[in-house]
Structure 1
Amino acid sequence: MDWIDLLSSNIYYVSRMNFSKEKPAILSLQYYSYPDAMGGAWNLTHEINKRLVERGHRVVIITCKPDDKYPDQEEINGVEFDRVSFAVSKDPIRLWHAIRRKVKHHLREEESWVAHVHHPLVGAFALTTKCYRQIPKIYHFHSSWYDEEKINLTETDQGKINLYFRLKIIRWLEWVCYRYSKSILFLSEYTRKRFLDYFPFKKPRMRIIPGGADTTKFYPSENSNELNAIRNRLGIPAGHKFLLTVRRLEARMGLDNLITAIAEIVNRSPELKFKLVIAGKGSLNDKLKSQATLSGLDDHIRFCGFVPDNLLPGYYAAADIFIMPTTFIEGFG
């Protein structure tokens, strides 16, 4: 049984007492989603939704636009996207009205539904509609939004009072979503334990569904010409080890610690020949580049920005070492 089989069985579990239909439609609630935005959780949810469609489920995503270049509605890999405009997504009152309207529109259709919630803000807003409260709900606990925002807001120096009240609201939104869910899904035992510590009330059914890799895309390559071409394109000199990390450039990803560690390695063992490639984009881009330059690491570290999905398998195959320096809230554990 693979991880989509586990998810499908969980969907059947939460829906079986409500419907006679074997395969209910899935209403996926996300603030952002792939391919509009890039990141581990967004890529994971896209793969989940795509594979649920392949197994005969209808999947509708209600999500927000990171900018207005995306259409309001479209279909990708059989998954139906229904997007909230960028301007509306940044106004909590307008977003609340938009989520309610879209939820009511879809649940009016003559189908059996199960909600699959990936973000507590969208999930909590949906709960203010009666029709949504009447369908079974699964919450996918990628991480605690409270934990992530505590790091991000502290990094941006929000002020203690503002930080306190924002975090209280976030915690309430998450707890409401958990309370109304029939089942909570986790990527690892680490995230399950964090949930147990974070949510002090009666727990819904809990299930760990580990992630996976598409081995038709990610596999060791023996094509030395292709691998050397990738290394040359990234400026990896011959005879140098290729170190790779693929991260959003945000506070919890630990990239500042990684740069500090690279500086220490260079100072202790200047004879070592290697180059670190940091792939990704984020709010700390300029700060991290400045840290690398001030540490004298321009010859040892390259920032290559966002790398499209179609190029990532080659990067992984060409690298000698992959580094994941996350300091906090890593879903894998």
Structure 2
Amino acid sequence: MKVLMFGWEFPPHISGGLGTACYGLVKGLAHHNQEVIFVVPKLWGDEEPLADFVNASDVVIDYRENRFKKIWKNLTYLEVSSFLVPYLGPEEFKKYTDYTVHDRMDVDESVFSNKFEFSGKYGKDLMKEVSRYALVASQIAKEKKHDVIHAHDWLAFPAGIAAKEISGAPLVAHVHATEYDRSGESVNQPVYEIERAGMHAADHVVAVSQLTKNIIINKYGVHPDKISVLHNAVLDASIIKSDATKKVPEKIVTFLGRITYQKGPEYFVEAARKVIQLDPNVRFVMAGSGDLLNKMVVRVAELGIGTKFHFTGFLKGNDVDEMYAISDVYVMPSVSEPFGISPLEAVRHNTPVIISKQSGVAEVLRNAIKVDFWDIDAMADAIFALLHYDGMSKMFKELGSEELKKLKWEHVAAKLVKIYQDTVKK
């Protein structure tokens, strides 16, 4: 099976769990002798050679062929109707849209033959890059032979749809998170529409948890029979032995992730206050960055716990490993977490974890304390218990490490290959 896969990030240049999951899947597919063509907006040159990598920034596209016309017009419609993702300069964009409205193809040469440079980041031009990426995808689908198309999350869904239009190969849409996870009920409508279009255009949908599958059914109107659940895994199930040492005598409780609505940082702060009231010899760490960071700093100051609460900013690489290693408890209080790989990484560092019941990882990590994200009393009680009852902490460490051995990417990939085969046969 030859898989044309569209993603937005790949290790070592990643911003979150999506890149880690893509890496695990590609590695697992290689274990099962599947050939993967992995397309990313930008290659950095130090990616592990697990696949035939395609740098979207190096692809020249020419839209004048008839087969591109439908994709070209549909993308133009999206651009013109929303004005959210202009991917040409003002003059070219006006010229291009004017002619497309009149179904003309004899516009300036530079409009139809171009090579786009992608940043590969999540900046202010994200929508523009998503649109460009879809156009590049159609050219890649024309050039690269493949049996099935696999697109990861909304950033790559338009690319997957465009590729399917060109090659006719079946599309698998992989949902790692939805707009309802990121924003609650106040969804970004254009993003929601892209997600919905991707799921409905797909021949099959993969969800990272039953929690996510339920959202796809109830919020996006996708039939349950079209959706399979594939839980994420860990790249290495072995316990990490670290020589990192704490520089403080107190116990350390850690939140590590994006400081956004989805991750529930405010509940962590409120639980911290309750724990500190019971035991002032505890330090809390919030590692990460996000749009709620300043609000959390202000709230910590209002509660008067600033001397026991630390903000590290965004961590990566060895700093992440060291943070896990020196933590006595790891807490993931997510409001809506499609899966959540970080608790598994914490377990690898022999750190007991507390996770919200509103997370996909709760479906596979049975030996962890689970609380409702909003129940700060239960969260505080669980933190206090793990810090003060050594027997409980030891038990969760031992049982958690045993569970990790079952969560391997090659097992996930084997199920994915079966999904590919079934989808191609339809």
What TM-score results when the alignment is normalised by the length of structure 1? Answer: 0.71
Which residue in 1 is equivalent to 2:146?
A: 112
Which has the larger Rg? Answer: 2
Question: 2:307 is paired with a residue of what secondary structure?
Answer: coil
Aligned to 1:12: none
The corresponding residue for 2:272 is 262
AA aligned opposite 1:252: Q
- The residue that corresponds to 1:140 in the other structure is 174
In 1: Cα distance, 2:335 partner to 2:164 partner:
40
Closer/same/farther in 2, CA of residues 119 and 216 from structure 1, 3 Å limit: closer
Partner SS for 2:55: strand
Going from structure 1 to structure 2, the CA distance change for 1:216 and 1:283 (only over 3 Å counts) comes to same
1:213 corresponds to which residue? 234
Q: Classify 1:279/1:134 alpha carbon distance in 2 versus 1 (closer, same or farther; 3 Å).
A: same
Shift of 1:82: 1.9
What is the alpha-carbon distance in structure 2 between the residues aligned to residue 74 and residue 59 of structure 1?
Answer: 18
- Partner residue, 1:28: 5
The residue number in structure 2 matching 1:19 is none
Contact kept, 8 Å, 1:242 with 1:321, in 2: the verdict is: yes
Alpha-carbon distance in structure 1 between the residues aligned to 2:19 and 2:120: 21
Matched to 1:172, the amino acid is E
Match of 1:279 in 2: 287
Moved over 4 A (4+): 91-95, 129-133
Give the alignment of 1:174-253 within 5 angstroms: 174-216=195-237, 219=239, 221=241, 226-227=243-244, 229=245, 231-232=246-247, 237-238=248-249, 240-253=250-263
Bigger shift: residues 175-184 or 252-261: 175-184
> How far apart are 1:148 and its partner, in Å?
1.9
Would the aligned equivalents of 1:280 and 1:304 in 2 still touch at CA under 8 Å? yes
Mark the CA change 1:206 to 1:124 in structure 2 (over 3 Å): closer, same or farther: same
SS at match of 1:243: strand
In structure 2, distance between residues paired with 1:257 and 1:326:
9
Which letter maps to 1:253?
K
| 3-state SS in 1 of match to 2:332 | coil
Counterpart Cα distance in 1 of 2:164 and 2:36: 21
Question: What's the TM-score once normalised by structure 2's chain length?
Answer: 0.57
The count of corresponding residues between Structure 1 and Structure 2 is: 278
CA change 1:280–1:174 in 2 (3 A) is same
Per the TM alignment, residue 150 of structure 1 is displaced from its structure 2 partner at its CA by 5.0
What is the root-mean-square deviation in Å for CA atoms of aligned residues?
A: 3.1
1:82 aligns with 2:115: no
Unaligned 5+ residue runs, structure 1?
A: 1-22, 155-162
Cα pair distance change 1:314/1:95, threshold 3 Å: closer
Is 1:294–2:302 an aligned residue pair? yes
Matches within 5 A, 1:2-41: 23-24=1-2, 26-41=3-18
Provide closer, same or farther for how the CA distance between residues 326 and 112 of structure 1 changes in structure 2, counting only shifts above 3 A. same
Cα distance in 2 for partners of 1:143, 1:259 equals 24
SS of equivalent to 1:242: strand
Cα distance, 1:138 vs structure 2: 1.3
> Residue type of the partner of 1:277?
V
**Residues 187 and 261 of structure 1: CA distance in aligned 2, closer, same or farther (over 3 Å):** same
Q: Supply the distance in 1 between the matched residues of 2:226 and 2:48 (Cα, whole angstroms).
A: 31
Kindly indicate whether the alpha-carbon contact (under 8 Å) linking 1:139 and 1:177 is maintained by their aligned counterparts in 2: yes
Cα distance in 1, alignment partners of residues 129 and 336 from structure 2:
33
Please say if 1:100 is aligned against 2:135: yes
Identical counterparts, % of pairs: 15
State whether residues 50 and 77 of structure 1, in contact with CA within 8 Å, keep that contact through their aligned partners in structure 2. Answer: no
Residues in 2 aligned to 1:94 and 1:214: alpha-carbon distance in whole angstroms: 30
Within 1, Cα distance between the matches of 2:302 and 2:130? 42
